[in-house]
Every structure is written in C-alpha cells, then in structure tokens.
C-alpha cells in the first residue's frame, strides 16, 4: 500500500514537471484574449486552409480560407503590396478582377487596387475599422497609369484627391473615367454598396444621365473616400456566420439624403475619434471562430 501511494505521487509529480506552472504560463491564454486583436491578425501572413468562410461583421469579423489577389496583372496593380492586405473572399477577388477588366474594356486601362483584407481578415493596426471579413476592397479613382508602376512606385504612389473640400465639389480630375469605374463597380451583381465622398455622389447624380440610374442606389456618401471608392460585397450565401448590414435604402439616393450631407459638411474635418488600435477590438470580443484563426 505505501508503495502504491508512492508510485501515484511520482506519477503526479511527473505530470506537474511536464507542465511548467510559472505565472506567465498560467496567465498567457486570458492575457492574449484581452490584448488588441489587430496585432495578432496582422502577424499572420498567410490564409488558413479549407473552405472560404466568413465570420462576424465588416467591423468585427474574420475570414477563413481567403484568396489572394495577384499583385500585378495586365488590368491592375496593387498599391502598397508590402502591407499584405490583398486577401479576401474568392468572390471579392473575382469582383476586383471583373471590374478591372471592364474598366480596361471601357478604354481606361484598368485599376489601381488598395487594401482588401489581411490574410485572415480581422482588425488592422492602422488604416480601417472595416475590411475585416474579406468582403471590402478599396479601388483608387485614378485609373491604372499607361506605364507600369515599379515596385518602389507601388509603395509610394499616392493617387490625388478628386474632391475640393472647400468648395464641396469634385475637382477637374473627376470625369468620364471615374464615372465609368464607379458605374462598373456598382453594376457588378456581387457588390452590395460603395462608399464615396458626398461631392462624388453629387457629381454622379448630376452626370449619370436619364438612362439606367439604378446603379446609383449602391453608391453611398460617406466621410473620407475622396481619392478611392470602397467597394463592399454582401455576405456569401454559404457563410452562415457572416452578418450583413441593413440593405441600402430604396431610390437613387440623389434626393434629401444627399442634400443633408451637402447642407452639413462636418464630414470634411477628420473624425473626432480616429481609430486607436491600442483601444481597439480585443480578441475576446470577437467571434469564437475568429479567435481560433490566430491561435
Ligand atoms: Zn475602404
């Protein structure tokens, strides 16, 4: 009997020896959950394997099985490729490719692509609150230049603003190419809405003509977005855990709603609460499936 007890004690001690119970080791899992999730998502450089699946909302979510948009193609180039934010749901990648090809077919060569999402989506240490589910893409309003941009230029090129914030109008740089690009993106069947600066929406309302104006409904005025359009696709049908936002209101959005943006241009000043990642989304506030993606 004493021998048995001794054996049990030895076995128990062996188990403890294999798991070092330092305070740091005990505290690690819960501490990680309370840290901002942005750094953890930014540190993962590749997509997870398996079926593409979106979890959560545009501002609190992630994506498994993301695809990567090619950095360089005849019809597009990705700006700031070092950010490693050209990942998205395959439907988003396809949409960007489709729009780029259509813009080229319209005679404007193609598009310069901004951020999509990180390899597993999630919050970013800088730049965006949304873009978390691989369903958002920024496309610059300056079309693809005639000359291919070099790797250095891709990192440094800053497309110009198309909005005169003092006059609350578009600049002379905004013209047929920009209207064609916005119309192509808005007519894409997967696109749910597009955010642009209010004067850009106004210019579209004035210049879209009397023909098909249905696409104008998807183009929504928002602060910022003076040099790029933010193109958002809807939740993929097979992503049950993806949460859509409310549908865009009926109509072309050229009436009272736009008028209210133009009458109170407080959106011209930078946001009062810029995104501060240190105070941003914590991992334990994210969907459980998202937490698993950065473990
Ligand atoms: Zn955006």
In a domain, 289, yes or no: yes
Over residues 227-246, mean pLDDT:
96
pLDDT of 238 higher than 70: yes
In a domain, 3, yes or no: no
Q: What is the pLDDT of residues 47-87, one digit of tens each?
A: 999 999 999 999 999 999 999 999 999 999 999 999 999 99
How many angstroms does the Cα of residue 16 sit away from the middle of ligand 1?
50
How many angstroms does the Cα of residue 10 sit away from the middle of ligand 1?
59
**Cβ atoms within 10 Å of 266's Cβ, excluding its own:** 8
Over residues 4-28, mean pLDDT:
41
Which residues are 252's β-sheet partners? none
Q: Convert 43-52 to b/e letters by CB count within 10 Å (16 or more is b).
A: ebeebbeeeb
How many angstroms does the Cα of residue 131 sit away from the middle of ligand 1?
7
How many angstroms does the Cα of residue 250 sit away from the middle of ligand 1?
23
How many angstroms does the Cα of residue 15 sit away from the middle of ligand 1?
51
Q: Rounded to a whole number, what is the distance in angstroms from the first to the last CA of the chain? A: 45
How many angstroms does the Cα of residue 60 sit away from the middle of ligand 1?
15
In a domain, 20, yes or no: no
In a domain, 161, yes or no: yes
Q: 3-state DSSP call for residue 53?
A: strand
Over residues 284-288, mean pLDDT:
93
Parallel, antiparallel, or unpaired for β 53-57 and 228-233? unpaired
Q: What is the pLDDT of residues 129-157, one digit of tens each?
A: 899 999 999 999 999 999 999 999 999 99
CA distance 48 to 245: 25
Check: CB of residue 108 under 8 Å from CB of residue 180. Answer: yes
How many angstroms does the Cα of residue 138 sit away from the middle of ligand 1?
5
In a domain, 178, yes or no: yes
**For the chain, what is the domain count?**
1
> What's the Rg (C-alpha) of the chain?
24
Which domain range does residue 268 map to? 36-293
Query: How big is the CA angle at 157 (ends 159 and 155), to the nearest 5 degrees?
Result: 135
How many angstroms does the Cα of residue 56 sit away from the middle of ligand 1?
17
pLDDT of amino acid 269: 83
pLDDT of amino acid 251: 94
How many angstroms does the Cα of residue 228 sit away from the middle of ligand 1?
8
Q: What is the pLDDT of residues 241-283, one digit of tens each?
A: 999 999 999 999 999 999 999 999 889 887 655 555 545 889 9
In a domain, 262, yes or no: yes
How many angstroms does the Cα of residue 230 sit away from the middle of ligand 1?
4
How many angstroms does the Cα of residue 212 sit away from the middle of ligand 1?
26
How many angstroms does the Cα of residue 208 sit away from the middle of ligand 1?
23
In a domain, 27, yes or no: no
* pLDDT band (50, 70, 90) for residue 36: confident
DSSP state of 36: B
How many angstroms does the Cα of residue 264 sit away from the middle of ligand 1?
23
pLDDT of amino acid 280: 81
CB under 5 Å of ion ligand 1: residues: 138, 230
Q: Assign residue 194 the CATH number of its domain.
A: 3.30.1380.10
How many angstroms does the Cα of residue 49 sit away from the middle of ligand 1?
25
How many angstroms does the Cα of residue 226 sit away from the middle of ligand 1?
11
DSSP state of 137: E
Mean pLDDT score across all residues of the chain: 88
Q: What is the pLDDT of residues 87-124, one digit of tens each?
A: 999 999 999 999 999 999 999 999 999 999 999 999 99
Instruction: Report the predicted TM-score, pTM, of the whole model to 2 decimal places.
Output: 0.87
Q: 3-state DSSP call for residue 141?
A: strand
In a domain, 21, yes or no: no
């Amino acid at each position: 009997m004493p021998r048995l007890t001794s054996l049990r004690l030895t076995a128990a001690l062996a188990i403890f020896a294999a798991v070092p119970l330092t305070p740091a080791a005990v505290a690690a899992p819960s501490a990680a959950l309370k840290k901002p999730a942005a750094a953890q998502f930014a540190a993962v450089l590749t997509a997870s394997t398996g079926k593409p699946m979106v979890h959560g909302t545009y501002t609190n979510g992630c994506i498994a099985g993301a695809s990567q948009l090619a950095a360089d193609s005849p019809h597009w180039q990705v700006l700031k490729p070092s950010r490693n934010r050209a990942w998205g749901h395959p439907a988003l990648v396809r949409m960007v490719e489709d729009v780029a090809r259509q813009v080229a077919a319209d005679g404007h060569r193609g598009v310069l692509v901004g951020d999509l999402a990180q390899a597993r989506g999630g919050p970013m240490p800088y730049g965006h609150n949304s873009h978390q589910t691989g369903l958002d893409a920024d496309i610059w309003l300056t079309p693809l230049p005639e000359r291919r941009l070099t790797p250095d230029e891709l990192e440094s090129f800053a497309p110009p603003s198309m909005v005169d914030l003092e006059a609350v109008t578009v600049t002379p740089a905004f013209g047929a190419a920009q209207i064609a690009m916005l119309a192509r993106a808005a007519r894409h069947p997967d696109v749910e809405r597009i955010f642009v600066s209010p004067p850009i929406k106004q210019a579209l309302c004035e210049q879209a003509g009397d023909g098909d104006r249905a696409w104008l409904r998807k183009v929504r005025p928002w602060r910022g977005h003076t040099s790029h359009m933010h193109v958002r696709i809807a939740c993929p049908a097979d992503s049950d855990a993806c949460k859509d936002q409310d549908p865009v209101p009926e109509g072309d959005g050229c009436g009272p709603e736009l008028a209210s943006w133009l009458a109170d241009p407080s959106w011209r000043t930078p946001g009062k609460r810029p995104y501060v990642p240190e105070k941003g989304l914590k991992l334990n506030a994210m969907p459980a499936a998202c937490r698993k993606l950065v473990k």
